[in-house]
């Protein structure tokens, strides 16, 4: 059955369930646990990339620069741009929270320099659960 064929009431219930999931974590450690349990690696990356594309659009970077840097399609950038105009509040809330968290982690970034090392350090600080070996 195609997603569009499901009754509207079921789609609303699923959307409510997603909102509940997003409100569940109280800190970054819990957020990692929820994200790792619910989303596939591909879904996590797609959602995270949307925020970065939004941020680059807010910084008035060109579509082509975003496409080249993010290695994404013009369709993806265009869709984020449309959503940015239609639903600006959600992206702004996400970006504000991300920037607040980034400021809290900034001393770690300055101390260790390399962004890859920062990710390792952040995982260590918040004791992100290890992924299950496949």
Three-state secondary structure readout of 26-68: CCHHHHHHHHHHHCCHHHHHHHHHHHHHHHHHHCCCCHHHHHH
Domain assignment of residue 89, yes or no: yes
CB 88 within 8 A of CB 74: no
Please give the residue range of the domain that contains residue 104.
99-126
CB 127 within 8 A of CB 28: no
Domain assignment of residue 131, yes or no: no
**Assigned token pair, 25:** 């974590």
Query: What is the pTM (predicted TM-score) of this model?
Result: 0.65
121 and 75 both lie in a single domain: no
122 and 73 both lie in a single domain: no
- Tell me: the pLDDT tens digits for 15-50? 898 888 888 888 888 888 998 999 999 999 998 899
Percent of the chain whose pLDDT exceeds 90: 31
- The per-residue pLDDT for 107 is 56
Domain assignment of residue 132, yes or no: no
């Amino acid at each position: 059955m195609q997603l569009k064929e499901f009754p509207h009431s079921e789609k609303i219930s699923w959307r409510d369930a997603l909102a509940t999931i997003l409100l569940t974590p109280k800190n970054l450690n819990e957020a990692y646990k929820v994200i790792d349990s619910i989303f596939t690696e591909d879904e996590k990356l797609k959602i995270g990339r949307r925020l970065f594309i939004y941020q680059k659009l807010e910084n008035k970077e060109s579509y082509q620069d975003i496409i080249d840097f993010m290695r994404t399609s013009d369709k993806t950038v265009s869709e984020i741009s449309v959503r940015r105009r239609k639903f600006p509040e959600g992206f702004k809330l996400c970006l504000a929270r991300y920037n607040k968290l980034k400021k809290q982690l900034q001393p770690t970034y300055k101390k260790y320099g390399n962004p890859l090392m920062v990710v390792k350090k952040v995982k260590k600080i918040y004791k992100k659960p290890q992924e299950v070996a496949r």
